[in-house]
Amino acid sequence: MPIYPSDDRVNQFLTYLQQEKGFSSHTVRAYQIDLGQFLEYLVDRKDRMDISKVKKDSVRDFVGYLLTHGYERSSVARKLSSLKSLYKFLNRRKIIATNPVRAVKTPKITKRLPGFLTQYQTQKIMDISGNDESSLRNRAIMEVLYGSGLRASELVGLNIDDLDFHNEVILVKGKGGKERIVPMGSYAQKAVKEYLAMQQHKDNPAIFLNLQGKRLTTRSVQTIVKRLVSKIADASHTNPHTLRHSFATHLLERGADLRAIQELLGHSSLSATQIYTHLSIERLKKIYDKAHPRAEEEIK
C-alpha cells in the first residue's frame, strides 16, 4: 500500500469505522488510502496538513486535481464520499465547527449496467463434471453464488452452521456486519450436501475449503469462477459478481418484486437495486406490446 501522511484525527475516524461501525479491514484500508491521498495533496499543493482548517475551495481543488489527472469519475466520487464521511464524523464529535465538504457536489457518474449471463449460459456453466472433492466444491460454489445471489466475500465467510437445510435458508453475513437470511434452492442444497459428504477436512467450520483444508479466499473464488465461466465463448463477464447480477436479473425477468430482490441482495437502499430494471426493458416492452390496447397501430 502507498505510504501517505497520517493524522491523529483521521486515525480516530478509521478506528471508529472498524470498532463501532463494524467495517471490514478491507473497507477501512480503502478509506485510509483515500484520506491519506487528500492529506498528501494538502501538503504538496497547499503547504499545510491541518484538516481542521480546510475550506470548501480546497476540497473542490482536490476534486479538480483528481479529474485532470485521469481518475475515473467513480473513483473521484468514492474519494469525495470518504472525505464527507470523515468531516461529518469530525463535526459530530465537535472537533470542527463547520463541515467544508457538505456543499461540494459529487461528479456525475454514468451508470454502467452490470454484466450478467443469460439463463441458457448459466445452465451451461452449472454443468460441471467430476465427482472428486474439487469438482464437487466448485459446483457447490457456482450453485450457491447464483442460487442465492451472494457476494464472493459472503460466500467464503459461510460456516456449516449458517446452513439450515430443514428450512432451506442460509444465514449470510454481509457488508458492515449486517446479517440477512436468503433462500437456498434445491440445486444449491444438493450440490452443497454432495460436497460436504466428500470433504476430507471435517474439523474446519468453514464450508468452502482449499485442498489443504483452509478456508477459501475471495481471490480463490474469483479464479475458480473465471475459469468456469470462461469456458463459455460468448460470456463477456467472468467474475463472481456476474452470477450475483444474473441472479437478480433472472428474478426480475420472471416477475419478482424489486423490493424483494433488494432484500435478497442485501442492498441498503432501493436505488442500488433499480439498475436491474434497465436490464429487463426488453421484457417490459414485450409485455406492453402484448397487453396494451394502444401498443400497436391497427392494420387495415
Strands in the chain per DSSP E: 163-164, 169-173, 179-183
Q: Which of 79, 137, 139, 244 is catalytic?
A: 244
Q: How far apart are CA 265 and CA 278, in angstroms?
A: 17
267 is catalytic: yes
Q: Which residues lie closer than 8 Å to 81 by C-beta, 6 or more apart?
A: 106
The number of C-alpha atoms within 13 Å of 108 and in the hemisphere containing its C-beta is 1
278 is catalytic: no
Q: Which of 31, 87, 146, 276 is catalytic?
A: 276
Q: Which residues lie closer than 8 Å to 254 by C-beta, 6 or more apart?
A: none
Sort strands 163-164 and 179-183 into parallel, antiparallel or unpaired: unpaired
9 is catalytic: no
Q: Which of 9, 88, 267, 283 is catalytic?
A: 267
151 is catalytic: yes
88 CA to centre of own chain: 24
Strands laid side by side in the 179-183 sheet: 163-164, 169-173, 179-183
Q: Which of 79, 151, 245, 250 is catalytic?
A: 151
120 is catalytic: no
Q: Which of 175, 180, 193, 215 is catalytic?
A: 175
244 is catalytic: yes
Q: How far apart are CA 3 and CA 39, in angstroms?
A: 11
**Residue of 244, 263, 219, 250 lying closest to 148 (CA atoms):** 244
Cell of 297: 397501430
Q: Which of 29, 180, 237, 241 is catalytic?
A: 241
Bridge partners, residue 179, by sequence: 173
Active site positions, annotated: 151, 175, 241, 244, 267, 276
